[in-house]
Amino acid sequence: MRVVIAEDLALLRDGLIRLLSAYGFEVVEAVDNGPSLKRALVEHRPDVAVVDVRLPPTFTDEGLRAALDARREIPGLPVLVLSQHVEQLYSRELLSDSSGGIGYLLKDRVSDVKQFVEAVRRVADGGTALDPDVVSQLLTRRSREEPLKALTPREREVLELMAEGRSNAAIAGKMFVTEKAVTKHTANIFAKLGLPVSEDDNRRVLAVLAYLHA
Amino acid sequence: MNGEHVDGETREQAGVAGLAVGRSLLQALLAQVANLPLAILLLVSLALVPLGVGLALLPPVLVAVRGLANQQRRWARDWSGVEIPVPYRPRPAEVTGGGRVWWLLRDPASWRDMLWTAVNSVTGLLLAGLPAALVVYGLEGVLVMPWMPDLRTFGWGPFWPLGDYGLLGSFGCALLGSTLVLVGWLAGPSIMRAYALVNRSMLGPTRGRLEERVRELTETRSETVDTSAAELRRIERDLHDGPQARLVALAMHIGLAEQMVKDDPDTAVRLLVEAREASGTALTELRDLVRGIHPPVLAERGLDGGVRALTLSLPMPVEVAVDVPGRAAPPVESAAYFAVAEMLANVVKHADAERAWVDIRHNGTALVMIVGDDGRGGADPGRGTGMRGITRRLAAFDGTMAVASPEGGPTVVTMELPCALSSPKT
C-alpha cells in the first residue's frame, strides 16, 4: 500500500515512516509543509495519506486544508488526519462529503501501534476511523435528545464503537459477543434513530456519523 | 543643489501659509453656520427639558456637537500638529435611547463641549478668522483704493475719507494693505496653531479626567498583573503535578523494563504497557492545560472557528453568528474567546436553558459580543467569580460588560472590546 506522510516534526515523521514501513506500507513521500502536501497528494495519488493538521508555513490548519483541497480534486482520496487535539468542527468538515476514506485521530493513538495500523488500513479501504474523543463529544452534545436517550447502555456502547468506524465483526470482537448479537443491536439502534438500514459496514458508519454531526 | 533645496522649502512654506489662510476662512464660516446655530439649539433644548420636548431634542444636538468637536480635534492634529485627546467616557455596552442620553449628559466632557460650541462662535470668527480677515482687508487696500481715486468719500484704514489724503492716501493704502496681507499670510499658521491650542483647552481632557483615567489604568493594570501571575502559578503547579510527574514515572518504567527485558520479558512487557498508558495520561493532561492557556482551534481558525468549535462541545444547541471582517490582535481575540466561553459555561451550569445564541460583530471601533439564552435568568454579574474574572479581563482592554437577566429570563450579556481589525487573510 502506497502512503504519503505529512508531519513537520522530524522525530515524529521518521517514527511514522519506520512504523508504517514495518507493517508493509510503502512510503512514497514524506513532506513537512502544506503546499508540498497538496502537490504530493495530487502527484502520487497514494492509497492513503497520513496528515498532521498543523503544518508550516502558517502553523494553523494548513494540513487539514491541503487534505480537503486534494479530496476535492481527487474525490474519495483516503486521508487519515492526526492532531494534538480533536475538534468536532474539523470532523464535520472532513466527513461533509460523505464519501468515506476519512480518519481523524489524536496523535496519542499512534502509541497503540496495532490499532493505529488497523485504522490506516481501514481508511485506505474507504472506511472511517474517528477518534473516541470526538465520538464521546458528539454523544455528550446529543445525549439530552430523545432518540439517543432511548438507547440501552449496551446499544450506546455499540453506537460508540460504530461511530469510531468499526465493522460489526470488529465490534463483536471488542465486546466479546457474537457478531449476530451486534447485528441485532445495530438493527435496534437504526430503528430507534430512524436511519435506513444497510448491509455495508462503511455505509452504516457514515449514516451514524451524519446523524451525530447533524 | 543647495539652492534648489532651499527653493523647494520656501515654496512649501508658502503653500502651508496659503493653506492656513484658506483654513482660517473655513473656520470663521463654520463658526457662524455650525457653532452658532448649534449653541442656540442647545440653549433651546436645555430650556425645554422641563417640558419634556428637550429630552427628545437633546440627543441629536449633543451628537452633532460631538461630531463638530471631533472634527476640530482632527483638524487641530492634521493642520497644526496639536493633539487633542478625545476625553469622552467609554460608551457602555447597552446603547438604548434613555441610556444613551444619560451617558451623554453624565460625561463632564459633554458639558465642556457645549461651552465650547458657544465660545467658538466667537473665537472661531475673531481668532481663527484673523489671517483671512487680514489678507482680505489688506487686498482691499492694495487693489481697490489706489485704482479708484474717484471714491473720494470712501476710505480705507486710517485714510478716511480718501479724498482728504490725495496721492499719499493711495500710496499709504497700497503700502499698509500689502503689509497686512504679508502679516496675515506669514502669521497664518501660527494663528491657526494658537486657535488649535485654545480649542485644546476646552476640547481636551481635563486634569480630573486624566487623573481618573490614570487611576483606572493603574487599577486594571495591577488586576491584570495579579491575574496573569496567578494564572502562571496555576500552570506551573498543573505542569509539576501532572505531566512532569507522569514523565518521571514513564522514564522509570522504561528504565526498569530495559533491565528486565532479558530475564523477565513478561514483567518488562507489563511495564512497557504501563509506560504507554502513563504517556497517554500525560498527553491528555497537557492537552487540557493547553486548552486553558490558548485553545489550539482559536490559533488555527480565529475567533469565528474557535467559538464555533466551543459551541459544538456544549450539551445544547447554540446558534452562532460571527461578522468580523478580519482578525483582532491575538490578546484581544483570546480575551474575547474566554469571555464568550465563560458566559456559555455559565449558561450550561446555571441557566437551565433549552438553547443559547452567540452574536459577534465588529462595529468599526469595538468587538461586540452578545451571549443570550432562554433560561431562568437572575444572573448577577457581581456574584459569580467567573463573571467578575471576565469583567477584569475585559477591563484590561477598556472593554465593558452589561448583563440583562430578569428573574425568569431570558439572559442577555453584551460585551464590548475596543479594538482595530487587521485586514482578512486572502
**Inter-chain CB proximity A112 and B276 less than 8 Å:** yes
Examine the domain organization and report whether A96 and A118 are in the same domain: yes
**Inter-chain CB proximity A89 and B312 less than 8 Å:** yes
Of B279, B300, B315, the CB nearest to A143: B315
Considering its fold, how many domains does chain A have in total? 2
Examine the domain organization and report whether A52 and A31 are in the same domain: yes
Of B287, B299, B308, the CB nearest to A89: B308
Residue B2 scores a pLDDT above 60: no
Of A89, A92, A108, the CB nearest to B297: A89
* B149-156 average pLDDT score: 70
* B153-157 average pLDDT score: 76
Angle at which helix B97-106 crosses helix B53-80, to 10 degrees, equals 60
**Inter-chain CB proximity A108 and B283 less than 8 Å:** yes
Where is mean pLDDT largest: A1-10, B59-68, B312-321?
A1-10
* B2-8 average pLDDT score: 51
Residue B35 scores a pLDDT above 70: yes
Q: Which residues contact B165 (CB under 8 A, 6 or more apart)?
A: B159, B172
Q: What pLDDT digit, counting tens, does each position of B245-256 carry? A: 889 989 999 999
**Inter-chain CB proximity B316 and A144 less than 8 Å:** yes
Q: Is A111 on the interface with B (CB under 8 A)?
A: yes
For residue B309, the chain A residues in CB contact (below 8 A) are 87-90
Of B310 and B142, the one with more pLDDT: B310
* B147-157 average pLDDT score: 71
The pLDDT value given to residue B148: 66
Mutation choice for A interface testing from B273, B277, B300, B337 by most A CBs within 10 A:
B300
The pLDDT value given to residue B1: 43
For residue A96, the chain B residues in CB contact (below 8 A) are none
**Inter-chain CB proximity B297 and A53 less than 8 Å:** no
Of A85, A106, A140, the CB nearest to B296: A85
Examine the domain organization and report whether A92 and A183 are in the same domain: no
Q: How far is B315 from chain A (nearest CA, A)?
A: 4
Examine the domain organization and report whether A113 and A72 are in the same domain: yes
- Cell numbers for A157, please give them: 456502547
**Pick from B396, B417, B397, B398: nearest CA to B220:** B396
State the DSSP code for A197: P
The pLDDT value given to residue B93: 58
- CATH number reported for the structural domain that contains residue A150 in this entry: 1.10.10.10
**Inter-chain CB proximity A85 and B291 less than 8 Å:** yes
Q: How far is B357 from chain A (nearest CA, A)?
A: 16
Examine the domain organization and report whether A81 and A149 are in the same domain: no
Identify whether the C-beta of residue A158 lies closer than 8 Å to the C-beta of residue A142.
no
The pLDDT value given to residue B3: 46
Instruction: Give the pairing type, strands A2-6 and B411-418.
Output: unpaired
The pLDDT value given to residue A199: 83
Examine the domain organization and report whether A36 and A121 are in the same domain: yes
Q: Is A53 on the interface with B (CB under 8 A)?
A: yes
Q: In 3-state terms, what secondary structure has residue B262?
A: coil
Confidence of residue B149 (pLDDT cuts 50, 70, 90): low
The alpha carbon of residue B112 and the mean position of all alpha carbons in its chain are separated, in whole angstroms, by 20
Q: Is B151 on the interface with A (CB under 8 A)?
A: no
H/E element, B404: strand B400-404
Domains of chain B from N-terminus onward: 2-203 (no CATH), 217-293 (1.20.5), 301-418 (3.30.565.10)
Of B280, B299, B316, the CB nearest to A108: B280
Examine the domain organization and report whether A10 and A90 are in the same domain: yes
Residue B156 scores a pLDDT above 50: yes
For residue A112, the chain B residues in CB contact (below 8 A) are 276
For residue A53, the chain B residues in CB contact (below 8 A) are 300
The pLDDT value given to residue B426: 42
In percent, the amount of chain B with pLDDT more than 70 equals 92
Examine the domain organization and report whether A6 and A108 are in the same domain: yes
The pLDDT value given to residue B95: 56
Q: What is the pTM of this model?
A: 0.73
Sheet strands (E) in B95-212: none
Q: Is A112 on the interface with B (CB under 8 A)?
A: yes
Of B305, B314, B315, the CB nearest to A89: B305
Instruction: For chain A, positions 142-201, list CB contacts with chain B under 8 A.
Output: 143-144
φ and ψ of B410, to 5 deg: -80, 165
Beta bridge partner(s), residue B372: B357, B412
Last residue of a domain, one of A130, A155, A188: A130
Average pLDDT, chain B: 86
Last residue of a domain, one of A72, A100, A130: A130
Of A85, A89, A141, the CB nearest to B314: A141
Examine the domain organization and report whether A84 and A188 are in the same domain: no
Q: How far is B264 from chain A (nearest CA, A)?
A: 22
Q: Which residues of chain A have pLDDT under 70?
A: none
Of B150 and B376, the one with more pLDDT: B376
- CATH number reported for the structural domain that contains residue A87 in this entry: 3.40.50.2300
Examine the domain organization and report whether A119 and A18 are in the same domain: yes
Identify whether the C-beta of residue B120 lies closer than 8 Å to the C-beta of residue B109.
no
Examine the domain organization and report whether A67 and A101 are in the same domain: yes
For residue A82, the chain B residues in CB contact (below 8 A) are none
DSSP-derived secondary structure for B294-327: S-HHHHHHHHHHHHHHHHHTSSS-EEEEEE-SSB
Residue A136 and residue A134: Cα distance in Å, rounded?
5
Last residue of a domain, one of A96, A130, A164: A130
Instruction: Give the pairing type, strands B400-404 and A79-83.
Output: unpaired
- Put the strands of the sheet holding B318-323 in their side by side order: B318-323, B356-362, B366-373, B411-418, B400-404
The pLDDT value given to residue B420: 86
For residue A92, the chain B residues in CB contact (below 8 A) are 312
Examine the domain organization and report whether A149 and A124 are in the same domain: no
Q: What pLDDT digit, counting tens, does each position of B116-143 carry? A: 999 998 998 899 999 999 999 888 888 8
Residue B8 scores a pLDDT above 60: no
Of A54, A88, A141, the CB nearest to B300: A54
Query: What is the number of alpha carbons within 13 Å of residue A73 lying toward its C-beta?
Result: 13
For residue A107, the chain B residues in CB contact (below 8 A) are 283
**Inter-chain CB proximity B312 and A140 less than 8 Å:** no
Q: Is B272 on the interface with A (CB under 8 A)?
A: no
Identify whether the C-beta of residue B19 lies closer than 8 Å to the C-beta of residue B183.
no
Structural domain for A173, as ranges: 135-213
Identify whether the C-beta of residue B158 lies closer than 8 Å to the C-beta of residue B179.
no
The pLDDT value given to residue B97: 61
